[in-house]
Structure 1
Amino acid sequence: MNEKTPAMSATDTPSAATLTRHADAETCSDPSSVMTLLADSDGTAGGFTSYRSTFAKGAAGAPAHFHTRATELFFVISGSLQVLVGEDITLLNAGDFLAVPPHTPHAFAAAPGCEADVLFVFTPGMGRFDYLRLLSRVMRGEADPKEIAESSERFDNHYVDSPVWRAALEGSG
């Protein structure tokens, strides 16, 4: 072993790898986006939660919100994503990466006139797939939006008002 590769002791147990085949991944959809559920915390020893969202041209993503326990990571695979972080709005393009720490208000949507394909990762992970399923049901009119507000603590998703974000969305319409 060299200095950069520590030896594994007899008491260390390697973590199991997480593999989700595209053909096996569950998807949730609404009229303007498709979410591909990749790995929830129960399958990653709590280490992370990940999903991929494809947004139609100009589609809304998430309103302003924050998480108290997780850092949310964004990686834009293709297209462009408009993102609020705190009070600043920025444009993420293909290949761009953003990490939003806990307690930081943020929001996102496909950039005006653009589609977006984005990989999301939450770390540490927590069971969020039920939240994404709920969002899809609400967007399709199959569930009451009050259920989202009632689940804020369970899913660590706390919505806030952002005049900056509202103005950005109004300006892009």
Structure 2
Amino acid sequence: MTTKKNTAAPVLTRCAEAETCTDPSSTMTLLADSAPAQGGFTVYRSTFAAGAPGAPAHFHTRAWELFFVISGSLRVLVDEEVTVLGAGDFLAVPPHTPHAFAAAPGAEADVLCVFTPGMDRFDYLRLLGSVMRGESDPGAIAASAERFDNHYVDSPAWRAALAGDGA
């Protein structure tokens, strides 16, 4: 029996060496962003403070987005349904599915996020942090939609959930 040699190299990111992007309400720890030509994946850890805005309603055309809640509570929108994920919960959102997420009201959230296939998304996460810190024009996010496969949409269900918080 012959096995095909894997040409992809293993990926190891030591916690002490991981890049972090910090804004006023969250920290993203960038763990791995493999080459799209290899099928790839993007992995990062987001730690949201209570009241952190998270991500507005959006979808991806090419990637699944996976969420694993390490601790705390994460409120999510999937299609038009809003629910709360707790520690140990897992969610996989397929391409073309509108979704949004933020720390649940009154809670913090520590979440492992994975995109597959990957597509060099660390540049998007860096841009997002820069905008959130007021260092870059928010229009740069909209201009990057195709490059990073991140397409924002309106969600009455998400707006209603946020309005219920007094946000």
Question: TM (normalized to structure 2)?
Answer: 0.95
Structure with greater Cα Rg: 1
Provide the rounded CA distance (Å) in 1 between the counterparts of 2:131 and 2:98.
Answer: 22
Gaps of 5+ in 1: 1-6
Give CA deviations for 1:52-98 in whole Å, capped at 9, x if unaligned: 00000121100000000000000000000000000000110000000
| Structure 2 gap ranges (5+) | none
Equivalent residue number for residue 85 of structure 1: 78
User: Is 2:29 the partner of 1:36?
Assistant: yes
Residue 4 (structure 1) aligns with? none
The aligned counterpart of 2:15 is: 22
* Equivalences for residues 1-173 of structure 1 within 5 A: 8-9=2-3, 11-13=4-6, 15-42=8-35, 45-173=38-166
Task: Give me the identity figure in percent.
Answer: 75
| Cα separation, 2, equivalents of 1:25 and 1:44 | 23
Task: Please give the root-mean-square deviation of Cα atoms over the aligned residues, in Å.
Answer: 1.5
Number of residue pairs matched?
A: 166
User: What amino acid maps onto 1:19 in structure 2?
Assistant: L
Shift, 1:161, TM fit: 0.4
TM-score normalised by structure 1 residue count: 0.92
Q: Moved runs in structure 1, 4+ residues, more than 6 A? A: none
Q: How much has 1:8 moved relative to structure 2?
A: 5.0
